[in-house]
A and B are shown apart, each in its own frame.
Chain A
Amino acid sequence: MMLGAYLAYSLIGRFGAGPLGYWGGVLLAALAVGALGVLLERTLLRRLYGAPELLQLIATFGVVLLIKDAALAVWGAEDLLGPRAPGLGGAIAIFGQPVPQYDLLLIVLAPIVLAAMWVALSRTRWGLLVRAATEDREMTAALGVNPSWLFSGVFFVGALLAGLAGALQLPREPANLNMDLTIIADVFVVTVVGGLGSIRGAFVAALIIGIVRALCIGIGDVALFGSVVSFAKLTLVAEFVVMAVVLVARPWGLYGQPPGPSAIAEQRDLQVPPGRRFAIAAALLMAALAAAPLLVDEYALVLGADMLIFALFAVSLHFIMGPGGMASFGHAAYFGLGAYAAALATRSMPMELALIVAPLAAGIGALVFGWFCVRLSGVYLAMLTLAFAQITWATVYQWDALTGGSNGLVGVWPAVWLSSRVAYYWLTLAIAGGAIALLWRVVFAPFGYALRAVRDSPQRAAAIGIDVRAVRWAGFVLAGLAAGLAGSLYAFSKGSISPDSLSIPRSIDALVMVLLGGLQTLFGPVVGAALLAWLQDTLARHTEYWRAMLGAAILVLVLLFPQGIVGALGAAARALRQRGIGKRAAAA
């Protein structure tokens, strides 16, 4: 979509802004984006079809980062406003209000495109095959349909429409580099609210969200509880509020059907508690990390503390995703809640106490949100966590009086005896290390086994007397507490805190850490966190295009190690050991 806008800008620039040049440019841009989509799908994404859905999502994220920087390199960082559409520059009076002609055109065009899509999917043979292949790819192929071209076709149409949307937006909104993540979120929201796989649902969902947004703009500013709430600014979260309401009332979206067994549930690993060797290795690592301040400079210590904090954050997410089987797309909410709670608490109590109180605030957040979330599963659950995270983000962003709004809060410093870099590093190491060890203990405590039983087969778990929801809820809250602890450590380490700490990119960071390290390993999230923190830091320091580098790195890792780095290492070690056994047997 972003590319569509940029390409249209360039093409119209080249062809001239006459009717032919303008519409030709828009169409060509859309076609080019469609072609690029197919290229990406056939070279890259198709290698991932066998991989878990979450990994595909991460890979897409890597592609987004790459495209973003490519656009930055070609078109620069400034916003580019396109020329007006020829002949549609004027406005028409409707009910005494001037409405731009171009807006009217879009209002007419959008339903036409949507209707065309709907007809294509529900009334043509192509659409029928797409629906069949989405339900059962293998069986569709057995009936003589080449599913790979079918999916490429879907990709082409999807990318084409996205490109078209971007190009058409050009005269209204300038092309800019932030068009991507919000749009991806939009798309997910519409699909999930409608119910996965339901075209009619997506239709209705898009309509409802559109109306709610328009209402928000219409209502404008309203005084609420003494502070002014701008509904106009809330349009961004309006869709998430809609999604939260819909999912709470209808766990599978408006027209969705209950999903089959979730993809995560099939992966069964992590059965054996780590042995003594693992404990010794972990202790050695802790000792080495504790000795680090003697060896490295202050900058490295700050980075080290960041790594530790993110390791805890990642381990807490892994806790609910791996053993818990509940993917969260909004884990940053608890991180951010912890951070803000810490910043606010230090105003009225000593820092040491704030460090204890703050995670509790995050825990309370998880308690409330979790109560709703644990009723769902799979993608729906993940999207509900995202909705809650976005609502939290919007609240923080809007509540100037308490949270400082977009500026955030400053002056969040640790107690004096902890204020040196080395002291704070040690504190972080002790707390994060301790919390991680505790979470790992829990994974192999009776509660951890109950959690996995619930993940693998809710029915059977219920049959042997496990309270399925309570167990999942407790797991959710525990993860929220740990994430909140990471967040409060982060606040004191940085000295300030902004709404970024609970934004979508922060949640994605956590997902990337867990999946890069390996979902089915205990140690994976720690490695993933360290790697991502290090990559972000080094790349940002050495190149202007760090996003592209990061995106490329993520893609390479995802393609090379679909089970994550630690997962791949584990598999390699096992293979080596087996070969060793084979050789010994042959020798004997």
Chain B
Amino acid sequence: MLEVRELQAGYGAATILFDVSFDVGNGEAVALLGRNGAGKSTTLKAIAGWLKPRRGDIRLDGRRIDGAPSYRIARAGLGFVPEGRRIFTGLTVAQNLEVGRREPHAGVPWTPQRLFSLFPALAELRDRRGGQISGGEQQMLAIARTLMGNPTLLLLDEPGEGLAPLVIAQLTEALRALKQAGVAILLAEQSLVLAAAIADRACVLESGQLRYAGPYGEFARDAQARAEWLGLD
């Protein structure tokens, strides 16, 4: 599905990522872990075309996508939910969804109805402006909006950041359901809260270098690795 090979990327004079390589298989959920500043967001932005990679190649379903403009990458089936949600605050919830709508290449398309049953909290907010709903609702809307484009792979950048435990629980449920529906997921996270619920494999970044790639369960059991790379105990 997604293959990242020897990816180098950075901002201005600073190089942030050094030769990062990993894969995401069909329908698989991969957690991209690392401390604050490790380079998770940079990796996702480079994949989604928000940042031009310096070197290396990125393939989606075997086709090169590195260096392509972000709208083409999105059309190729990659959905990106960036850090900070980026809701259109002047548009209503329903309109936010409509902006994301794209015809599917195959299969049953996501519709607002299906998405409202995935995120019940959104159903009553249809006509509210994006700027007037809570952070958790915005996060759900951001994911729903991207799903309206019927992506086969979903990139999520810290979706749980700053959300209350109750909202996290709802989000976890939704992500499980998504995985069930066959959507591949690449989830960037600092903690293991959401990753624990869905991740099949883990990739760990430190200072822009890949330190670990393997089964998620193995990583989660390794207390020493967790402490060293994530500062968690």
By a beta-carbon cutoff of 8 Å, the part of chain A in contact with chain B is: 125, 128-129, 131-132, 135-136, 138-147, 197, 257
Bound complex: CA of A131 vs CA of B146, how far in Å?
A: 17
Are A143's CB and B90's CB within 8 A?
Answer: no
Name the residue of chain A whose CB is nearest to the CB of B142. A139
Are A142's CB and B82's CB within 8 A?
Answer: yes
Are B99's CB and A143's CB within 8 A?
Answer: yes
Are A141's CB and B146's CB within 8 A?
Answer: no
> Of the candidates A129, A141, A142, A257, which one forms a contact with B90 in the assembled complex, judged by CB atoms under 8 Å apart?
A257
Bound complex: CA of A64 vs CA of B100, how far in Å?
A: 37
B63 interfacial contact with A, CB 8 Å: no
B63-92 interface with A by 8 A CB criterion: 69-71, 74-75, 80, 82, 86, 88-91
Are A131's CB and B90's CB within 8 A?
Answer: yes
Bound complex: CA of A147 vs CA of B69, how far in Å?
A: 11
Bound complex: CA of A441 vs CA of B216, how far in Å?
A: 62
B53 interfacial contact with A, CB 8 Å: no
Besides A135-B88, A138-B70, A257-B90, 14 new A-B residue pairs in contact (Cβ under 8 A), listed by A number: A131-B90, A132-B95, A135-B90, A135-B91, A138-B50, A141-B69, A142-B71, A142-B74, A142-B82, A143-B145, A143-B146, A143-B149, A146-B69, A197-B90
Give the residues in chain A near B74, CB-CB below 8 Å.
141-144
Are B88's CB and A141's CB within 8 A?
Answer: no
> Of the candidates A128, A131, A147, A257, which one forms a contact with B71 in the assembled complex, judged by CB atoms under 8 Å apart?
A147
- Determine how close the nearest CB of chain A comes to the CB of B69; give it in whole angstroms: 7
Give the residues in chain B near A144, CB-CB below 8 Å.
71, 74-75, 100, 102, 149
Give the residues in chain B near A140, CB-CB below 8 Å.
99
B133-156 interface with A by 8 A CB criterion: 145-146, 148-149
Max count, chain B CB within 10 A of own CB: residue among A136, A139, A145, A146: A139
Are A128's CB and B98's CB within 8 A?
Answer: yes
Name the residue of chain B whose CB is nearest to the CB of A147. B71
The size bracket of the interface on B is: 20 to 34
Are B70's CB and A128's CB within 8 A?
Answer: no
Bound complex: CA of A197 vs CA of B89, how far in Å?
A: 12
Grouping DSSP codes into helix (H, G, I), strand (E, B) and loop, the A interface class, with mixed when no group exceeds half, is helix
B32 interfacial contact with A, CB 8 Å: no
Are B86's CB and A132's CB within 8 A?
Answer: no
- Determine how close the nearest CB of chain A comes to the CB of B53; give it in whole angstroms: 16
B48 interfacial contact with A, CB 8 Å: yes
Name the residue of chain A whose CB is nearest to the CB of B69. A141
Are B88's CB and A136's CB within 8 A?
Answer: yes
> Of the candidates A139, A147, A197, which one forms a contact with B86 in the assembled complex, judged by CB atoms under 8 Å apart?
A139
Q: A128-B91, A197-B90, A257-B90 are in contact. Are A143 and B100 (CB under 8 A)?
A: yes
Name the residue of chain A whose CB is nearest to the CB of B131. A257
- Determine how close the nearest CB of chain B comes to the CB of A137; give it in whole angstroms: 10
Q: A142-B82, A147-B71 are in contact. Are A132 and B102 (CB under 8 A)?
A: no
Are B71's CB and A132's CB within 8 A?
Answer: no
Are B98's CB and A141's CB within 8 A?
Answer: no
- Determine how close the nearest CB of chain B comes to the CB of A181; give it in whole angstroms: 31
Give the residues in chain A near B86, CB-CB below 8 Å.
136, 138-139
Give the residues in chain A near B91, CB-CB below 8 Å.
128, 131-132, 135
Bound complex: CA of A138 vs CA of B86, how far in Å?
A: 9
Closest 7 CB pairs of A and B: A144-B74, A139-B86, A141-B71, A132-B99, A143-B100, A141-B70, A144-B75
- Determine how close the nearest CB of chain A comes to the CB of B145; give it in whole angstroms: 7
Give the residues in chain B near A136, CB-CB below 8 Å.
86, 88
Give the residues in chain B near A142, CB-CB below 8 Å.
48, 50, 70-71, 74, 80, 82, 146
Are A135's CB and B95's CB within 8 A?
Answer: no
Q: List 24 A-B contacts (CB under 8 A).
A: A128-B91, A129-B99, A131-B91, A132-B99, A135-B88, A135-B90, A138-B70, A139-B82, A139-B86, A139-B88, A141-B69, A141-B70, A141-B71, A142-B48, A142-B50, A142-B70, A142-B74, A142-B146, A143-B99, A143-B145, A143-B149, A145-B71, A146-B69, A147-B71
Bound complex: CA of A389 vs CA of B74, how far in Å?
A: 48
Max count, chain A CB within 10 A of own CB: residue among B88, B89, B102, B146: B88
Give the residues in chain B near A145, CB-CB below 8 Å.
71, 99
Bound complex: CA of A131 vs CA of B90, how far in Å?
A: 8
Give the residues in chain A near B95, CB-CB below 8 Å.
128, 132
Name the residue of chain A whose CB is nearest to the CB of B102. A144
Name the residue of chain A whose CB is nearest to the CB of B75. A144
- Determine how close the nearest CB of chain B comes to the CB of A344; give it in whole angstroms: 50
- Determine how close the nearest CB of chain B comes to the CB of A579; give it in whole angstroms: 13
Give the residues in chain A near B89, CB-CB below 8 Å.
135
Give the residues in chain B near A197, CB-CB below 8 Å.
90
